[in-house]
Amino acid sequence: MNGQAIEFKRVNKWFGKLHVLRDIDLSIASGEVVVVCGPSGSGKSTLIRCVNVLERIQQGDIVVLGQSVTVPGLNLAKLRTRVGMVFQQFNLFAHMTVLQNIMLAPMRVKRVSRDEAERTARALLERVGIPHRADSYPANLSGGQQQRVAIARALAMQPDVMLFDEPTSALDPEMINEVLEVMTDLARDGMTMMCVTHEMGFARRVAHRVIFMDEGQVIEQSEPEAFFAAPKSDRTKQFLSKILSH
């Protein structure tokens, strides 16, 4: 499949009076890895949450994998099975084992058989490097392990697009890399990815494009090399000087 995976078309969104997304025009090609960065409160989370309709937009349209999210009577569940999401706070289900967490959606949404779901789940755990924790409960895993399970859980639905909202921000520094490695592998395999992150090393190495947002607008977007070497706008420069100084 080649073409656009996600297209934002003059998207506007308000929370009450707060104008959080302003005239967003943005396309993400399939197979592309895009990093979204920007100051706190600039609307990054809101932007990616609109893609799988955890938030509704008030103006404009978003076309996800050929499907407009604003059509009335949209089959949300169907759209969401094609778009995986990984959250800052892992959000594993505490009353289920790692394996059950991963098998849940394939069995309940896609009606995959238990055997097949388990096979897929174990293969995914292998892929994210923790096959031995299949029967553990989330609370007994480290943050890095939990986040890798969360990625495996999203992948179990065989999504065409993956959304990441600050997947490493809640992690201790020594665990950040194990999660970034999994994300890097995923990118190398050709997954379409939209990642809100401040891991600029990851952006440099893996992203095809870096997008800078401020106050609900896309201020600047370019290839990582150009983005870091020669940012065009002052706001981007300011932001980068703060974030890269340490």
Partner 1 sequence: MQYQFKWSVLWSGQSAGWLLQGLITTLELSALAWILAVCLGILAGALRTVTFAPLRAAAVFYVEFFRNVPLLVWMFFWYFGVPPLLPRVVQDWLFNHGAEFWAAVIALGVYTGARMSEVIRAGILSIPRTQFEASLAMGLTVGQAYRLIILPIALRLIVPPMTNESLNLLKNSSVALTISVAELTFQTRQVETYTAKAIEALTAGTLIYLVLCLGIATVMSRLERRFAIPGLIARVGAG
Check residue 94 for interaction with partner 1 (CB under 8 A).
yes
Contacts 24+ apart (CB under 8 A), 138-141: 138/90, 138/92, 138/93, 138/94, 138/96, 138/98, 138/101, 139/94, 141/98
Name which of 78, 76, 68, 136 is nearest 102 in CA terms.
Answer: 136
Exactly one of 56, 108, 114, 188 binds partner 1 (CB under 8 A); that residue is 108
Closer to ligand ATP by CB, 157 or 239: give it.
239
- The neighbour count for residue 24, using CB atoms within 10 Å, is 23
Site mask, ligand ATP, residues 6-25, x = CB under 6 A?
A: ---------x--x-x-----
Site mask, partner 1, residues 159-198, x = CB under 8 A?
A: ----------------------------------------
Closer to partner 1 by CB, 50 or 210: give it.
50
> How far is Cα of residue 225 from the mean position of the Cα atoms in its chain?
22
Task: In whole angstroms, give the CA distance from residue 93 to residue 128.
Answer: 18
Cβ 50 to Mg ion, closest distance in Å? 13
| Tokens standing for residue 99 | 């394996």
| 84 CB burial (10 A radius; 0-12, 13-18, 19+) | buried
Segment 28-47, which members bind ligand ATP (CB under 6 A)? 38, 40-46
Indicate which of Mg ion, partner 1, ligand ATP, none lies near residue 95 (CB less than 5 to 8 Å, by partner kind). Answer: partner 1
Name which of 85, 80, 203, 79 is nearest 151 in CA terms.
Answer: 85
Task: In whole angstroms, give the CA distance from residue 26 to residue 196.
Answer: 15
| Tokens standing for residue 66 | 């050929």
| Tokens standing for residue 242 | 């703060």
Is there a contact between 219 and 44 (Cβ–Cβ < 8 Å)? Answer: no
Cβ 233 to partner 1, closest distance in Å? 32
Site mask, partner 1, residues 35-74, x = CB under 8 A?
A: -----------------x-x--------------------
Site mask, partner 1, residues 126-155, x = CB under 8 A?
A: -----------xxxx------------xx-
Exactly one of 3, 15, 58, 89 binds partner 1 (CB under 8 A); that residue is 89
Check residue 77 for interaction with partner 1 (CB under 8 A).
yes
| Contact residues: ligand ATP, CB under 6 A | 15, 18, 20, 38, 40-46
| Contact residues: partner 1, CB under 8 A | 52, 54, 76-78, 80-81, 83-85, 87, 89, 91, 93-95, 104-105, 108-110, 137-140, 153-154, 157
